[in-house]
Amino acid sequence: MNALLLAALVAAGIHPPAPVTIGHSVQGRPIELTRVGDPAATRKVLVVGEVHGDERAGRGIVTALRRAVPPPRTELLLVRDLNPDGFANRTRDNAHGVDLNRNSPQGWAGAGPRPWSEPESRALRRIVLRERPALTIYYHQPFGLVDFPERGSAREARAYARLSGLPLRHLTLRPGSLSRWQNARVLRGSAFVVELPPGRLRRHERDVNVVAVLALLAQPLAR
C-alpha cells in the first residue's frame, strides 16, 4: 500500500468512534482509549500521543488517526493523553510530580514511591497486558528522531524513520521507561519511541507521521 493511498484513508469527514475510559489521573481526569478498525483483529497497534504533559505534538497525530480507515483485519488503539493532568497543568510529570515514563519496574530508579505507583502508568499497563498489541508507538519531544527499541527487531522503527523522514538513533537508556518495560516483559521489539521536533507540528509533518503509522499497521510485523 503506497503512501498516497494511505494518506487518502484519513478522511476529515469521518466521525471518530467514541472513546472509552480506561482509567483516571491523579486529579480524576479520564484516560481514554479510542478503537479504530476491526475489534476482532489479531494485529493491533497502540499509539500514545502524550506521556509528558509538556510534550504535546503527538496528540495531533492521534487525533488524525481517530478518523483513519485501517487496513482490513487490523485495529488501532489510540490514547491521546496518558497524562491529562500534566497536559492541563503544562508540566512534564503527573500531579504527584512523577515522571510516568520512569515509573515501570524495568530498571526503575526511584520515580514515584514504587514501580507502577501512578494510576496513569497502571492504566497503560492494563491496556498493554489485555490487548497485547503487536506494536506500540510512544510520542515524545523534542529530539526529532526515532529511537531504536532496546530488544527485538528494529525493522518497524527503521521503517517509521524512513517514512517520516526522522533519523533513526540510539538514545541513552531511560530507567523505568514504558517502552523498555514492554520490550523486556511483554514482547521483544514491540515498542519504540518517536521523538518529534520541538514545538507544534505543521499539518504536513502531522500527515507524514499518520501515514507512517498506517503503513506499519498494514504490513506484517517482525520480531
Which tens digit of pLDDT belongs to each residue from 38-60? 989 989 999 999 999 999 999 99
Question: Residue 28's pLDDT is what?
Answer: 98
Share of the chain above pLDDT 70, in %: 91
124 pLDDT above the threshold of 50: yes
Domain range annotation of the chain = 3-218
Superfamily for domain range 3-218: Zn peptidases (3.40.630.10)
Confidence of residue 158 (pLDDT cuts 50, 70, 90): very high
Question: What mean pLDDT is predicted for residues 79-89?
Answer: 98
Amino acid (one-letter) located at 176: G
